[in-house]
Amino acid sequence: MKRLVINAIEKKSKINKELYGHFSEHLGRCIYEGLYVGEDSDIPNVNGMRSDVVEALKAIKIPVLRWPGGCFADEYHWKDGIGPKSSRKKMINTHWGGVTEDNSFGTHEFMELVSQLGCEAYINMNVGSGSVQEMSEWVEYLTFGGLSPMAKLREQNGRKDPWDVKYIGVGNENWGCGGNMTPEHYANEYRRYATYCRNYTDKKLYKIVCGPNVDDYDWTRGVMKTVAPLLKTDSGRDLVQGISLHHYTFPGGWDNKGKALTFTEDEYYETISRTYYMEELITRHSHIISEYDPKGLMGLIVDEWGTWYQVEEGTNPGFLYQQNTIRDAIVAGVNLNIFNQHSDRVKMANIAQMVNVLQSVILTEGPKMVKTPTYYVFDLYKDHMEAELLGSFLENETIGPEKWQIPMLSHSASMDKEGSITVTLVNASAGKSESIRILPVEYKASSVKGRILSGDLHDHNSFENPDVVSAKEFTDFTQDSEGITVNLPAGSVLCLRLSK
Ligand code: AHR
């Protein structure tokens, strides 16, 4: 039996809803087929957006969507994606399979999708192969409501009013696919680009500078050294609000990735151990950021995370299509608990990617759609959004093979505006269930409700069997005057809701 003490009067930091964000790139079947099928498709749609997918995503209240990339962003020229579809320029998607991109999904379509989902837009601008003018005109096209060349062009294309765009990424992975720059060179470019990314409304843009790949602490230091002086003045602070971090979970490593559906117990522990590395990365990058930004003005934006396996057999290697099991649910549960626990610095996180690419929440095949185990984790965790992280302490133990030791349990707890507490717990053990005694301090719960995701680690949903894995009501707990005792099966993700 382990104890989990939750202090209901120790409110630590707000868990931004954006921690539960998503990423959609012009990559494989994410945008085309997954989200957008076009108005003439037989698949039910509203203005070209698949109705089944939009409904499923709305049910988990997705808060923010990043687009158009990824690596694609630094090759994307937004003017190719506006105006009559028949005359939109076609291009080669060099990063992702060398396929033809017909630009039929562009700015208007993305903003339509965001409006149907009811979420914030996060647009990643092109620094690698774009220009300051191109970027500044895109911002004008999107957000300027007065009389101007770009506002006029937008109106000619059928949209009079500007859109609400909150988040702007100035380049993506500029240490690699976004231009292979050095941190100092990129950060100086960032300062120039961000200057011309104007605020046209009272709602100021939240601008994100490209941060490190995994453990590239030199990149963080180089970028922070160059951009942090901006934080000294009000006008400078308008130029930079966040710095990104990318970390994927590759069991086997980048060159020898394992498979999504078949894996040994050792490979399972390796996957979870590589996921837990996120904790160290956030902690160490945050320390560097704090050296330059001691007031905590800048957010850490983990805008790409998730599992990355070999593609499914018979699919285009450039499309990064992979299945998703309970193992992925454990990865999601652990990562989301880490983000919650670091919500003082982590202000957004975006799983890669939303549909049909890498660790997706939804998979599609023609008119069929399945929700993955990862989808249900987002469903279980959704009450953490905009709640206050609570101070807590969990007894734990280390498990797994010598090379891939992990903490058995992961957790976070938060209190929402109504005073209800959400506790999310992951038992990452491949074979051992565990009893947990939950002891709330300064809180008497009159009602406790639970939902759980569990099963064999290899369980997954397919188009033939779409309902093998789903969140179920959880009843394996007892409550007394001091607390709640739950029995957490091996390989499970649990959400408990405590109300007064
Ligand atoms: O998500 C797939 C790719 O991974 C993105 O395009 C890129 O930013 C990262 O390397």
Q: Give 279-337 pLDDT, tens digit per residue.
A: 999 999 999 999 999 999 999 999 999 999 999 999 999 999 999 999 999 999 999 99
3-state SS assignment for residue 5: strand
Q: Given this model, what pLDDT does residue 483 score?
A: 96
pLDDT average, residue stretch 463-471? 98
Between CA 355 and CA 27 the distance in angstroms is 10
Q: Given this model, what pLDDT does residue 142 score?
A: 98
Helix, strand, coil share of the chain (percent; to 5): 30, 30, 40
Distance from Cα 104 to the centre of ligand 1, integer Å: 21
Atom of ligand 1 nearest to the CA of 320: 2
pLDDT digits (tens, 9 = 90+) for 30-60: 999 999 999 999 999 999 999 999 999 999 9
Strand 492-499 to 447-454 pairing: antiparallel
Among 22, 23, 24, 25, which residue has the most ligand 1 atoms within 8 Å of its CB, making it the best to mutate?
25
Q: Given this model, what pLDDT does residue 154 score?
A: 98
Same domain, 338 and 471: no
Among 71, 72, 320, 351, which residue has the most ligand 1 atoms within 8 Å of its CB, making it the best to mutate?
71
Q: Given this model, what pLDDT does residue 60 score?
A: 98
Distance from Cα 375 to the centre of ligand 1, integer Å: 20
- Which of 349, 371, 386 finishes a domain? 386
Same domain, 130 and 21: yes
pLDDT digits (tens, 9 = 90+) for 161-203: 999 999 999 999 999 999 999 999 999 999 999 999 999 999 9
Same domain, 35 and 135: yes
For 235, the domain range is 16-386
pLDDT average, residue stretch 230-259? 96
Atom of ligand 1 nearest to the CA of 176: 10
Which residue's alpha carbon is at the smallest distance from atom 7 of ligand 1? 70
Which residue's alpha carbon is at the smallest distance from atom 2 of ligand 1? 70
User: Any idea what the CATH number is for the domain that residue 405 is in?
Assistant: 2.60.40.1180
Residues with CB under 6 A from ligand 1: 25, 69-71, 172-173, 304, 352-353, 358
Distance from Cα 27 to the centre of ligand 1, integer Å: 9
User: Any idea what the CATH number is for the domain that residue 104 is in?
Assistant: 3.20.20.80
Q: Given this model, what pLDDT does residue 402 score?
A: 97
| pLDDT band with cut points at 50, 70 and 90 for residue 7 | very high
Q: Given this model, what pLDDT does residue 228 score?
A: 97
Same domain, 440 and 365: no
Distance from Cα 304 to the centre of ligand 1, integer Å: 7
Contacts of 270 (CB under 8 A, 6+ apart): 251, 252, 403, 404
Average per-residue pLDDT for the chain: 97
Among 31, 74, 124, 173, which residue has the most ligand 1 atoms within 8 Å of its CB, making it the best to mutate?
173
Same domain, 368 and 461: no
Same domain, 295 and 238: yes
Which residue's alpha carbon is at the smallest distance from atom 5 of ligand 1? 70
As annotated, the active-site residues are 173, 304
Question: 249-273 burial, b for 16+ CB within 10 Å, e for fewer?
Answer: bbbbeeeebbbbbebeeeebbbbbb
Q: Given this model, what pLDDT does residue 118 score?
A: 98
Same domain, 176 and 318: yes
- Which of 370, 386, 402 finishes a domain? 386
Number of domains within the chain = 2
Q: 414: which 2 tokens?
A: 């938060």
Distance from Cα 71 to the centre of ligand 1, integer Å: 6
| pLDDT band with cut points at 50, 70 and 90 for residue 209 | very high
Distance from Cα 70 to the centre of ligand 1, integer Å: 5
pLDDT average, residue stretch 374-389? 98
Same domain, 248 and 326: yes
Q: 66: which strand partners?
A: 23, 122
Q: Given this model, what pLDDT does residue 234 score?
A: 94
Same domain, 259 and 129: yes
Same domain, 345 and 435: no
- Which of 386, 419, 445 finishes a domain? 386
Strand 398-399 to 388-394 pairing: unpaired
Q: Given this model, what pLDDT does residue 448 score?
A: 97
pLDDT average, residue stretch 359-367? 98
Same domain, 365 and 407: no
Same domain, 244 and 369: yes
